[in-house]
Structure 1
Amino acid sequence: MEEIVQGTAEWHALRLGKVTASRVADVIAKTKTGPSASRAKYAGELIAERLTGTPADRFTNAAMAWGTEQEPAARKTYEFYRDTDVEQVAFVLHQTIGDSGASPDGLVDVDGLVEIKCPETHTHIETLLGQAVPAKYVTQMQWQMACTGRAWCDFVSYDPRLPEPMRFFCKRVMRDAALIAELEREVVAFLNEVRGTVAQLQRIYDPQPADEAVNLRMAG
């Protein structure tokens, strides 16, 4: 079987209608009055994907294209830094929540992962100064660990536009069982809402043909 590469049509098909690690932050996003607009937007995307069988349109810009182009170099730098090999993987389903999964940037050794970001320079500089993993990525990495069963994930920020000593940042995040359990509860509830809305829309707009309904009543 041909290996599926992240970003391809086959990869998008694997993720169709499923909650993915990069979007778990949207699932748990809340405001003072309740769920956030980003949560509702994401639910709408998954509902449409399930009804149409077509992946939602993904926004791209120059910064995102840059990140994709630089990721192989960042991965090689990480392999040199850690003196290890990275195994690339397309998509890993959650072990118990079948409608969710993750696409880590690589499996490392027997119990690790790597998540690679090649951001705009000002963002990379903020990470260098703060010497910490940006909070918005912690949820993504924890969900990757939930799906893969791995114990840690190295966060990498890489920008070759800076002087060599400043190009590479790496910090390890350990598995947080309590946070993962909380995320799992939130994702299960979110997926139940998505399934319920899909079923409701199908009942309203794709009702059972009248002749089939009559036949079923007669059979009963």
Structure 2
Amino acid sequence: MSAPVYHPEIEQGTDDWHAIRAGKWTASSGAKIMGGLDTQGLKDLVKDLAWGRVFGKTDRGYSGKSMERGHELEPEAREAFAFEHDATVEQVGFVEHGRIAYLGWSPDGLHAQRKRGLEIKCLEHKAFIDFFECRQVPSEYRWQVKIACMVGALDGLDFYVYHPLAGGITVPVEITDAEKDQIEGRISILEPRVQALVDRLMERKAAA
């Protein structure tokens, strides 16, 4: 199996980061990728990917309060995780799958010699309590962490929920061979949709 391609030189949130993600299936879109084949979310994702492959970037999406909260608290959460687990956490802007084209992941961190990943969620108090009670990865993040494991060829991933007043909770995640097959199979179904739109947009671009 081909090794993942790491991009530690890229900082998340920068123009270079947006450029390398353009046109790619990413772990953060896992729920859309692995959900229904006729959902509006998936249709919009296909449009974004095709546009990114032709024009290099898409319009920046809306950043809600929860996303802004995550960005603000993520460095603090990463330090807390490193302290709790006595881990050295490496920041890498983007990781590409070693064999499957257009499949990537933006890690919140890598540790254990890049064999374990870190996914941080800085939840508000009610959602934190829900997670504290069940200790399970919420369903909306299930495929995000599975795709991350697959892209990074990880031994496992640590799903870390953090609140500055309550600290952090870690739930380890792994991926099965069957889940890897599911992800690759779904992308093989969806890629022709993107390529067909890319072809039409290329014709438009050439005529413009």
For the criterion TM > 0.5, the same-fold answer is: yes
- Check if 1:98 corresponds to 2:104: no
Following TM superposition, the consecutive aligned residue runs of length 4 or more in structure 1 with deviations greater than 6 angstroms are: none
**SS in structure 1 at match of 2:195:** helix
**SS in structure 2 at match of 1:97:** coil
- Check if 1:89 corresponds to 2:92: yes
Structure ID, larger Rg: 1
Find the aligned partners of 1:206 and 1:8 in 2 and give their Cα distance.
Answer: 26
Find the aligned partners of 1:93 and 1:118 in 2 and give their Cα distance.
Answer: 25
- Check if 1:58 corresponds to 2:56: no
Q: Percent identity?
A: 31
Per-residue Cα deviation, 1:63-95 (whole angstroms, up to 9, x for no partner): 211110100110111011111111111111112
Q: Find the counterpart in structure 2 of residue 197 from structure 1.
A: 197
One-letter code aligned to 1:136: E
Find the aligned partners of 1:102 and 1:125 in 2 and give their Cα distance.
Answer: 28
Q: CA deviation at 1:118?
A: 0.7
Per-residue Cα deviation, 1:178-216 (whole angstroms, up to 9, x for no partner): 11211111112212210112113434x35679xxxxxxx
One-letter code aligned to 1:199: D
Of residues 141-150 and 194-203 in structure 1, the stretch that sits farther from structure 2 once superposed is: 194-203
**SS in structure 2 at match of 1:153:** strand
TM-score between both structures, scaled by the size of structure 1? 0.84
State whether residues 47 and 194 of structure 1, in contact with CA within 8 Å, keep that contact through their aligned partners in structure 2: yes
Q: Find the counterpart in structure 2 of residue 144 from structure 1.
A: 148
Find the aligned partners of 2:137 and 2:35 in 1 and give their Cα distance.
Answer: 19
1:177-192 equivalence runs, <5 A: 177-192=177-192
* Structure 2 runs not aligned, ≥5 long: 1-6
One-letter code aligned to 1:96: R
CA RMSD of aligned residues (A): 2.0
* Structure 1 runs not aligned, ≥5 long: 210-220
